[in-house]
Amino acid sequence: MKFTFTALHVFQEKVSMSFSDHTMTSPSLLVAGNSSPMLGLTIAWHPDSNRVGEQFIVADPQAELELSRFSPAFRLAGKEALPLGHGGISREALRIQRNGDQGVLITPPASRMVVEINGVPIHAAVHITQEQLNKGLILGLGRAVLICLHWMQCLPKTNEMEGVIGVGSSAILLRDQIRQVANTDFPVLLLGETGTGKEIAARGIHQHSQRRHSQMVTVNMAALNESLAAADLFGAARGAYTGAQQARKGLFAEAENATLFLDEIGNTPASIQPMLLRVLETGDYRPLGATQDLHANARLIAATDQDLYGENFNQALLRRLESFVIHLPPLRERREDIGVLILYLLKQNKLEYPVALPTSLISDLLIYDWPGNIRQLSHVLRRILLALQAGQPADFHQLVGISKERSSIAPAAQPAQAIHPVTGTVGKTVEVTQSARKKLTDLSEDDVLQAMIRHDWYIQGAAQELGISRPSMYKLLEQHSQIRKAEQIPVAELRAVLDATQGVIEQAAHKLKTPAESLRRYARIIAISALSG
C-alpha cells in the first residue's frame, strides 16, 4: 500500500492532542497501541542547517514511502512541515518499503541522482534488516542531503532541555526521565559509557528540581586521595589528621539543600563505600575526628561507566543507589541525533567554520561509531575546524585514528543485497569500533602516547582504542617514559600552563603530557591548598 505524508500528519496530530508537551507517560504508550516500532526518517544534514533534525515518521508496518524533492514533508515537533526541497534531489521518487518487522527495501529512483547507503553508492534495490536499522542507517541523496533511517518507539514531541540534545526516542525518553525524577529526592544512578553526557543529565535533574537555586556540588570519586577521601566528603575536626590545623567542611556539608553529584562512583575507595551506605540509609554521617553525627540534606546523584554488579562494589550501597536508574545510550545507538549534536557543539564551543563543511565529511561523522561518544565527537569537531581555518584538509580517518584501509568500503551492492549486520555497510567489513583485546606487550610506548593524544589525554577513550582494560591502561601509563604523573609536576609549572591554556584541562594535559583526569584532580587540590593557606 502507499502511505502518504498527509495521512501520517493527521495520525500524529490526533495522538499528540492526547498528551501535553511534558507528559511523563512511557513512550511505549505513545504509539497508540501499535507494538511495532515506527520507522523514523530524520534529516541528519542539509545545506540549510535549520532543517537538520526535522523528521518524518512512518507508523504503518506495511507502508511504502516515496521520497523525492517534493514529498514527504519533514518537520520538527510543533513546527511547519516542509519537503526536502533541495535542487540536488531528484523529482523522481526513491521508494522505501516496509515489510512488517522484517526491515525495509530501498529502491533508488530512475534518475542520475547519486544514492548512498552509509557512504556506499547503490544502483539497485537493497534490503535492510530490522537489526541493521537498530544501528541507524545514513541515506545520502545527491551528495547534498543526508537522512538517518532508524526506529522510533514514540512520536516526536517538544520537551526541550538545555544540554540534553536529540530528536530520537532515546533523547525524548531521557528528558522525560530527568523531569520525572527531578521532582523527587530519590538518589539517582546514571549508567552509560564515557562521554555519553552523564554529568549533563545530572545537571538537568538539579536544574529541574526544587534545589535549583543552590549550586550543584560535583566530585570525581576516582580523583579522591584514599587517605583523605573521608575528610573530603564528610569533613574533619581540627587535629583529625596531620596538618588539620582547623575544622574542615566536607562536600556533603557544601551540598546542604542542594545536589551532590558523585561522578565515577565505581571508583569509590572501598573504605568509603560503607560510609556512603550509612548516609543513604539514615541520612547521618560523622566528620573525621568528630564526636557527634551530622545530618545530610544533600540529594545524591551518582554516575559510572563501570559494571557495579561485581564483587568489587558494595552491593548494599548499589541497592540504595538504584532508587532510580537512568541508562544513557552510546552515540552509536542514537545515530539520528548526531546531526543536531554537531550543530549544537559548534554553537556551544563558538566554533565558526570558514567554508561549508563537506557533505562527505559529515557523512563520515554520521557513520562512525564514536567509542568516545559525544565527548569524542566534540574534540574531533574542534580539530576539523582548526584544520579548515588553517587551510588544511580535514582528514577524518587521521582525526579519529583509523586507517583508510580499515575503513574502506566495498563497491556498490548487488540488487537486494543485505547490508552487513555488524558494520552497517555493504560487502567488506568496516572496523571503526574499539579494537580487539590485545596483550600489553604488543603495545609500544608510541602506541600509548598517540592514543592519549587522539583522545585528548582521557584514559578511558585511549584504552578503548587500544583494546585494553582501564586498569591495564594505568599500568602502561605508570611505566611510560614520557607521560608524567600530575602530582609530580612542579606547582609553578602546572599553574603557568593552566594560565597559558586559560584553564582548559585538555590543552594543559597535552602540554604537560599527563592524563586529564589526574590533572583535573591535582589542579583542584592545589586550589584547595591555596584557599586554606
pLDDT value at residue 156:
92
Which DSSP state fits 347?
Answer: H
pLDDT value at residue 9:
38
**Once rounded to an integer, what is the mean pLDDT over residues 509-523?**
86
What are the pLDDT digits (tens) for 168-202? Answer: 999 999 999 999 999 999 999 999 999 999 999 99
What are the pLDDT digits (tens) for 234-287? Answer: 988 876 666 656 777 889 999 999 999 999 999 999 999 999 999 999 999 988
Which DSSP state fits 288?
Answer: B
SS3 at position 127: strand
Distance from C-alpha of 450 to C-alpha of 397, rounded to nearest angstrom: 14
Give the cell for residue 64. Answer: 511504502
DSSP H helices, 238-306, are: 251-254, 273-282
CB 196 within 8 Å of CB 239:
no
239: left (phi over 0), alpha (psi -120 to 50) or beta: left
Name, in order, each residue with C-beta under 8 angstroms of 132's C-beta and a sequence gap of 6 or more.
103, 418, 419, 421, 424
**Which residue segments constitute the domains of the chain, with CATH numbers given?**
5-159+332-400 (2.60.200.20), 187-322 (3.40.50.300), 440-532 (no CATH)
**CA neighbor of 140 nearest in space, from 166, 159, 113, 165:** 113
Distance from C-alpha of 420 to C-alpha of 188, rounded to nearest angstrom: 38
DSSP lists the bridge partners of residue 422 as none
What are the pLDDT digits (tens) for 385-440? Answer: 888 877 787 888 888 877 554 443 333 333 444 443 333 444 333 333 334 456 77
Distance from C-alpha of 389 to C-alpha of 493, rounded to nearest angstrom: 30
pLDDT value at residue 460:
74
Number of H helices, E strands in the chain: 18, 17
